[in-house]
Structure 1
Amino acid sequence: MNKLLIKGGRVIDPLAGKIITADILIADGKIAAVGSGIPAGEGAVMDVTGKLVAPGLIDMHVHLREPGFEAKETIETGSRAAARGGFTAVACMPNTNPVADNEAVISYIRSRTQEAGLVKVHPIGAITRGSRGEELTEMAALKEAGAVALSDDGRPVASAAVMRRAMQYARMVGLPIISHCEEPSLSKGGAVHEGYMSTLLGLPGIPAAAEEIMVARDIILAEDTGCPLHIAHVSTAGSVRLIREAKARGVPVTAEVTPHHFTLTDRAVAGYDTGTKVNPPLRTEEDVAALKEALADGTIDVIATDHAPHTVEEKDVEYQLAPFGLVGLETALGLVWTELVEPSILSPVEAIRKLTVNPARILGLPAGTFQVGADADITVIDPELEEVVDPAAFASKGRNTPFAGRRLKGLPAATIVRGKVVYNRSLAE
C-alpha cells in the first residue's frame, strides 16, 4: 500500500469553517485518516509544520487552448501551471479549435489530461454549436462524455430566445450554465472600461452597462426556467447589486470574480501594457470596492482566474489590436492572500471556501473536503512565504501578466493530486 503522511500542519476545513492542527494520512491516493498523532508507519512523511493544509484548490474558469491553439498553451503546460499555482483541478472553457461542442473534443481533452498525469481537468461544453449563439449543442451527449457545465465563454449568447431554450435543456440534463455576460452591440470595438481613463488614453471604451444588461437578462431567464446560472468574471458594482438582489429572491444564481478584477483598476492601463487588456475590462475603484464587499458578504461565491494565455507576439502590438486575456493560475493564490486575507477582507477559511467547496458544489464535483475515502487532493500553503512575480519562471506558456514585479505573500508549498505530489516548491527551486 502506497502511503504518505502529511504531518504537523494546520488543516483548513472549509465545510466546518475551522482550522485545526492535525495530520492527514493518505493511502493509495485516498484520504485514510485525519487526526493528531497519526503514526507514520512505513510510508513517506511530509513535514508541513507552520503551514496550512487545504483541500485541493479548484479553478473553474481556465482556457487551456488545446486543441487548436497549442502555441498559446497545451493541456500539459496548463496543468503544470495549475499545479505550480496550488490547483489540483481546473475546468476548461470550450473556445478551442474545434470548439468543444461535441463528444469527440470532450473525450480528447480527457484523454490528453490522463497523458499529462498532473491535475484534474474538467471540460466545459459549449452551449451552442461553434459557440455561434444559434443552434444548441447535444447537451446530454456532452454530459455523458464528461462535460461538467455549459458555456460559450469568450462569446455572449446574444439571443435571449436561444439562452432561454438553453437553460430549459440544461436544467433537464442537470448541467449549470456559465454565462459570459456582455451585450455585444454595446461592447463592440471597445478595449478598456468606458470612463475617465478611456478618454484620457484615447482608447475606445466598454461601458459597465454592457455587462449589467446581460447579467439582468440571464438572472431573469434563470428565474423563469429554474436553471442554475453561474455568472463568470463579474466586474462591476451594478452586476454585484443585481446578483445580490437575485439571491435574496431565491434565484439559482452564483458568481465568480477574478484576482485581477479585485486587485487592479483601469488606472493600470495607463502605461498601455497589453497584459492589462482583459474582457471584461478592468473597472474603477468603486467597482473594485464593490467586488471586495461582495466577496466578504457571500454575494460572490467563487474566485476563478480566467487564465487566458497568448503568445508574446500576439500581445506585443498596439493596445487596441492585442487580444484580451492574462495568465492567472500561478499568481492567483498569492493575490488572494495578499489582497484579501492579509487585509482581513476574507479569513483563510472563507478564502479557501471560494477556491474549493463552492466551485465543487457548482460543478457537481466530489471535491473540496477531507472526507475519509475521498481522493487525496491537497494544497499546502505557506502563509509567510513571499516572492516577486517573475513571468520567466512560469510553467505556463503564457507570459501575459500585469503583475510582473509585484511582491506576493501566501504561496503554494506543495500540490497533491490523488496522493501524488505534482508540485513541491522546495524541490522545484
Structure 2
Amino acid sequence: MLMSTETYDLLLRGGHVIDPDSGFSGPADIAVAGGAISAVGSQISGTARETVDVRGSYVVPGLVDFHVHVYWGSTVWGLEADKIGAAGGTTSFLDTGSAGAITLPGFRRYVIDPARTTVRALVHICTAGLVTNLGELRDPRYLDVEGTVRAIEANRDIALGVKIRYSDVIVGEGEQARAALLAALEAAERSGTWLMVHIGRTPEPIADVLQLLRPGDVVTHSYTPLAGGVVDDHSLLVSPAAIEARAAGVQFDIGHGKSSFGWATAEAALAAGFAPDFISSDLHRGCVNGPAFDLPSVMTKFLMLGMPIEEIVMRCTSMPARKMGLDAGTLRVGSPADIAVLAIDEEPVSFVDCTGESRVCNRRLSASHTYCSGVRLDPEILGVTEDLPVEISSRPMGSGS
C-alpha cells in the first residue's frame, strides 16, 4: 500500500494498469492531482475529490491515434477531435493531411488551438488538402512543395511532416504519379521532417515506392487488402522490399479506415512477423459508423488476431507519442494525466474488415472514461450525438482511405 495523507483530484481504483513506458502491467490504483499523475501503486491511501471504481477494466495512457481526419466542417472526411476522443479514449491525434499549405492556418486556428485533446498535423502536399474526395492530385497544379515547406516552417510546433495519398485514383499514373511522390519527398527533405505515404491501388510496384523512402518515413495502410500493398493481395506474402525497408528504418502504420484493413492480410503479415509500428484508426466520416468505429474497436481486432494487450497498447500510446514528440503515452508520475479506461465486454461480437468479411471477437474493448490532464471528457457534455458508431457494418471499398 502507498501510504499518503494527500488529497487528490481523482483516484482510479482497482483497474488493470498497463503502462508501456515503464513496462508495468497489473492491478494498481492511479492518483491524479493538478492535472498530472501523482501516484501509481497498490491501494493508494489518502482522499480524493472523485474516486472511480474501475475494477474489471484496463487503465492505460490516453490513446494516441496516429492517423485520423479531424478538420471538421472544411474537409470531406473531417470529424470533431474532442467528440471522438471522449467516446474513444483518445487524448492525442495525428491528423494526416486534412490540411494543405493554404488551409493549415484555418485548421490551426479553428481546430487545433481550441481543442481539449492534443492535435498535431501532417501537411498534405496538395495545397488544398482534403477539401473534396475527387482525387486531390489528379491535377498536378495542386502540388505545392514551396508552400508545404513554408507552412511547416511557420508551424513547427504542430506540423510534424508531409502526407501524400499515393493511389492511382488520387495521383494518376505513370510519370505524373511518380512526380507527385517525389514532390512530397522533396518537401519532407527540405523541411527536415518525415513523409507518410498512403498505399493501396498504388500506381507503381510497392518495391519501387519503398526504395525511395528514408529512415523515419512512414507507410500507412500497411494491412490494406487492395492491390499494391505491403502484403500481396493474391499470394498474401509480405513484400521482401517491405522487410528491407523496415530494416532500413522505415516505419509502418495500420490506418484501418474504410478500405485499408483485411482479416486475411493482417493474419498473413502477423504470421510472417511483420507487426505494425503503429495501430491507428484512420477515423473519418466514411468509417466512423463502420468498419473502423474507433481506436478501441481496431485494438479489439488485434486482440482477436492474438496480439497481447500490452503490445497493442504500446502501439496505440507510447510508440506514436514518441514519434510525434509528445509528453504523452505514459502513466509516469509527473506526466500529464491523459488516461483512458477501457471496459472489457466478454460477449462475442462480430466485426467486419474492409472487404466485408465478418469474424467473431470474444472480447470487445470500449472506452468508459477519457481524461485529458485529469479532467474527464464526457461525451454527453460535449454533445456527442453524431458522427459516432451506431452499428457494425461494412462499407464498399473505393478511393477513400
CA RMSD of aligned residues (A): 3.8
Matched, 1:378 2:346: no
Q: Quickly say closer, same or farther: Cα 1:180–1:23, change in 2 above 3 A.
A: same
Q: CA deviation at 1:385?
A: 5.5
Give the one of 97, 103, 123 matched to 1:94.
97
Q: With the length of structure 2 as denominator, give the TM-score of the two structures.
A: 0.72
Report the Cα distance in structure 2 between the residues aligned to 1:386 and 1:177, rounded to whole angstroms.
40
Residues 124 and 164 of structure 2 are in contact (CA less than 8 Å); yes or no, is this contact kept in structure 1? yes
One-letter amino acid of the structure 1 residue matched with residue 243 of structure 2 = E
Structure-2 residue corresponding to 1:4: 10
Q: Quickly say closer, same or farther: Cα 1:286–1:335, change in 2 above 3 A.
A: closer
Please give the per-residue CA displacement for 1:357-377, whole angstroms capped at 9, x wherever unaligned: 222233333321112222211
Residues 5 and 40 of structure 1 are in contact (CA less than 8 Å); yes or no, is this contact kept in structure 2? no
4+ residue runs of structure 1 moved beyond 6 angstroms?
A: 387-390, 400-408
Residues 156 and 181 of structure 1 are in contact (CA less than 8 Å); yes or no, is this contact kept in structure 2? no
Q: CA deviation at 1:28?
A: 1.9
Give the one of 404, 408, 416 matched to 2:371.
416
Q: Quickly say closer, same or farther: Cα 1:243–1:309, change in 2 above 3 A.
A: farther
Segment drifting more, 169-178 vs 4-13: 169-178
Q: CA deviation at 1:31?
A: 1.7
2:66 is paired with a residue whose SS is strand
Report the Cα distance in structure 2 between the residues aligned to 1:33 and 1:409, rounded to whole angstroms.
29
Matched, 1:181 2:199: yes
2:314 is paired with a residue whose SS is helix
2:283 is paired with a residue whose SS is coil
One-letter amino acid of the structure 2 residue matched with residue 301 of structure 1 = D
Greater share of residues in strand: 2
Q: Kindly report which structure 2 residues correspond to 1:3-402, keeping only aligned pairs within 5 A, or say none.
A: 3-69=9-75, 73-75=78-80, 78-95=81-98, 99-102=99-102, 105-113=103-111, 117-130=115-128, 132=137, 134-136=143-145, 137-139=147-149, 141-145=151-155, 146-153=158-165, 155-156=170-171, 158-164=176-182, 166-182=184-200, 210-211=201-202, 213=204, 215-222=206-213, 226-234=214-222, 235=224, 236=229, 237-238=231-232, 240-242=238-240, 244-247=242-245, 250-259=247-256, 278-279=258-259, 286-293=264-271, 297-310=273-286, 330-337=293-300, 339-342=301-304, 345-384=306-345, 386=347
Report the Cα distance in structure 1 between the residues aligned to 2:110 and 2:356, rounded to whole angstroms.
30
Report the Cα distance in structure 2 between the residues aligned to 1:403 and 1:299, rounded to whole angstroms.
21
Q: CA deviation at 1:63?
A: 2.0
Report the Cα distance in structure 1 between the residues aligned to 2:193 and 2:67, rounded to whole angstroms.
16
Structure-1 residue corresponding to 2:3: none
One-letter amino acid of the structure 2 residue matched with residue 55 of structure 1 = P
Residues 307 and 328 of structure 1 are in contact (CA less than 8 Å); yes or no, is this contact kept in structure 2? no
One-letter amino acid of the structure 2 residue matched with residue 378 of structure 1 = I
Q: Quickly say closer, same or farther: Cα 1:24–1:151, change in 2 above 3 A.
A: same
Residues 243 and 253 of structure 1 are in contact (CA less than 8 Å); yes or no, is this contact kept in structure 2? no
One-letter amino acid of the structure 2 residue matched with residue 420 of structure 1 = V
Report the Cα distance in structure 1 between the residues aligned to 2:111 and 2:343, rounded to whole angstroms.
28
Unaligned runs of 5+ in 1: 183-209, 261-277, 311-323, 391-399
Q: Quickly say closer, same or farther: Cα 1:353–1:48, change in 2 above 3 A.
A: same
One-letter amino acid of the structure 2 residue matched with residue 233 of structure 1 = H
Report the Cα distance in structure 2 between the residues aligned to 1:231 and 1:128, rounded to whole angstroms.
18
Residues 150 and 177 of structure 1 are in contact (CA less than 8 Å); yes or no, is this contact kept in structure 2? yes
Q: CA deviation at 1:11?
A: 1.0
Q: Quickly say closer, same or farther: Cα 1:375–1:361, change in 2 above 3 A.
A: same
Structure-1 residue corresponding to 2:395: none
Q: Quickly say closer, same or farther: Cα 1:173–1:83, change in 2 above 3 A.
A: same
Q: CA deviation at 1:100?
A: 2.5
Q: CA deviation at 1:48?
A: 1.1
Q: With the length of structure 1 as denominator, give the TM-score of the two structures.
A: 0.68
Greater share of residues in helix: 1
Q: CA deviation at 1:307?
A: 1.7
One-letter amino acid of the structure 2 residue matched with residue 355 of structure 1 = C
Residues 171 and 180 of structure 2 are in contact (CA less than 8 Å); yes or no, is this contact kept in structure 1? no
Structure-1 residue corresponding to 2:390: none
The number of aligned residues is: 344
Q: Quickly say closer, same or farther: Cα 1:303–1:410, change in 2 above 3 A.
A: same
Unaligned runs of 5+ in 2: 1-6, 129-135, 386-401
2:124 is paired with a residue whose SS is coil
Q: CA deviation at 1:24?
A: 1.7
One-letter amino acid of the structure 2 residue matched with residue 135 of structure 1 = D
